Structure formats: C-alpha cells, structure tokens
C-alpha cells in the first residue's frame, strides 16, 4: 500500500512537470520588460542616427562564387555608392570581372534590392521593432564591437524585407552590430536555402555594414556565395547626434 501511495505521489508530482515542459515557455514578466526596453532604446537611437545623417559615400567589392557538378566560376564588381537623405542611393560600377550574366543576375539584383530597401515603406516594414518582430533575449556576448545583447528575432509578417535569426545589439550605443539569419521570403522561386551574416562597423556616430556573406542554392545544382566587403566610408553631411 505504501509503495502504491509512493507511486501515486510521484505521478502527481511528475504530471504537472511534464505538462509544464510541454507548454510553450513564456518569458518572465521582468525578462519581457527588459526586451521591451531594449527594443524601445534600439528604435529610438536608430531614428536619431537616421535623422542626423544626411549624406555619405563608400565603396564596396562584391564577389560571387558558384559551383556545382557541371559548372563553377567567380565574378566581381567594385562599386561606388553615394547616399543622400532621406532615401537616395546612387551606384557607379568602377570595375568588373567574370560572366556578364552572373553580374547582371546577382550584383544588379543586389543593388536594386538595396535601393528599394532604402525607401520609407521598406524601412518601416523591416525596422527591428516589436511591431515587426517577436524578440527573445538569449544572453550577452562580447564582440569586437563591444558587449552586446543577443536577441532571437522572428518576423510577425513574412516579407521580402524581413528575416528570422539572431541579432547582436551594442549595449552602449544601442546599435545592431551583427545579424545572422535567413530571409523570411526567398527573393526568387529559383533561389532556396538562403542565409546570411552581416557585420557592422562604427564610423563617427554612425554604424555601417562592414561585411556581408550570403549563400543559397540555385538551379542546376549550383551553390552560390555572395560576399560584399565594404571599404571606407566618408560622411559628407551630418548633424551632431543627440543621445
């Protein structure tokens, strides 16, 4: 009888634990509040930097490598870019190597997407805010850019401008310094399994891309990797940043 009671007691203790593990884990109220504070401060500082920066120029080298059972190769382009607020980006191709069809389909697509993403509607849809993303604070990590808060983010609405993945936010400046993720929507029905990593650098009061590496599967069994190495930035117009 005592043995049966012991087993019954154990079942009474284990069943609630099992049910608890089966349920989705909700963030404690204090952790959720911390996420909200991070998101608010991030959005606030992003808007201040956007308002303060009126013009800059930079160069980047874009390289795509592709390989498969029947084909492999590489193409590069060096591109100069000038930004004028609020959303104008002008690109000038300085040099290029490799197959024209690859440069047109990869580099031109990337530049067109970047120009579209600079527009007000796209920026609103892709902004890292609680309106656009579900965020979970997973910890802190030390990067070359400083001590960072690490967030897992999931888009509330999948679009060509949103992504799912992990974001590192500098704790001092509340700026995104690294993103690792996958596009919420494939840019083309012919492109699958896309993923990317972007690191950012600080120039003056502002943060700009430093390097982006993205990879995806293409038709005919090809695997492609696009690397964008951003060079020096020159700020042409800016007002002092209010913190």
Please state the rounded mean pLDDT for residues 33-58.
Answer: 95
Say how many C-beta atoms besides its own lie within 10 A of residue 101's C-beta. 9
Contact predicate 212/23, CB 8 Å: no
**pLDDT of the residue at 220:** 62
**pLDDT of the residue at 6:** 35
Please state the rounded mean pLDDT for residues 227-234.
Answer: 95
Contact predicate 26/155, CB 8 Å: no
C-alpha–C-alpha distance, residues 145 and 178, integer Å: 9
Peptide bond into 86 cis (omega under 30): yes
Q: How far is CA 188 from the centre of its chain?
A: 19
Query: Which strand (E) or helix (H) includes residue 123?
Result: helix 120-126
Angle, vertex CA 87, rays to CA 86 and CA 89, nearest 5? 130
With a cut of 50, say whether residue 135 has pLDDT above it. yes
Name beta bridge partners: 176.
Answer: 169
C-alpha–C-alpha distance, residues 180 and 146, integer Å: 17
């Amino acid at each position: 009888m005592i043995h049966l009671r012991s087993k019954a007691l154990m079942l009474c203790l284990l069943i609630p634990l099992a049910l608890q593990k089966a349920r989705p884990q909700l963030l404690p109220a204090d952790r959720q509040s911390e996420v909200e504070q991070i998101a608010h401060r991030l959005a606030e500082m992003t808007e201040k930097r956007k308002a303060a920066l009126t013009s800059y120029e930079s160069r980047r080298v874009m390289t795509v490598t592709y390989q498969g059972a029947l084909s492999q190769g590489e193409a590069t382009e060096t591109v100069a870019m000038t930004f004028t607020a609020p959303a104008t980006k002008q690109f000038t191709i300085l040099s290029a190597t490799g197959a024209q069809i690859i440069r047109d389909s990869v580099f031109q697509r990337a530049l067109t997407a970047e120009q579209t993403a600079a527009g007000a509607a796209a920026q609103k849809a892709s902004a890292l805010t609680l309106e656009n993303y579900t965020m979970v604070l997973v910890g802190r990590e030390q990067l070359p850019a400083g001590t960072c808060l690490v967030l897992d983010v999931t888009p509330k609405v999948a679009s060509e401008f949103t992504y799912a993945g992990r974001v590192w936010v500098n704790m001092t400046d509340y700026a995104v310094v690294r993103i690792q993720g996958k596009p919420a929507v494939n840019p083309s029905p012919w492109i699958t399994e896309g993923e990317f990593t972007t690191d950012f650098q600080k120039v003056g009061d502002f943060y700009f891309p430093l390097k982006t590496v993205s990879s995806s599967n293409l038709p005919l069994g090809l695997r492609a990797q696009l690397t964008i190495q951003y060079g020096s930035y020159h700020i042409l117009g800016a007002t002092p940043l209010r913190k």
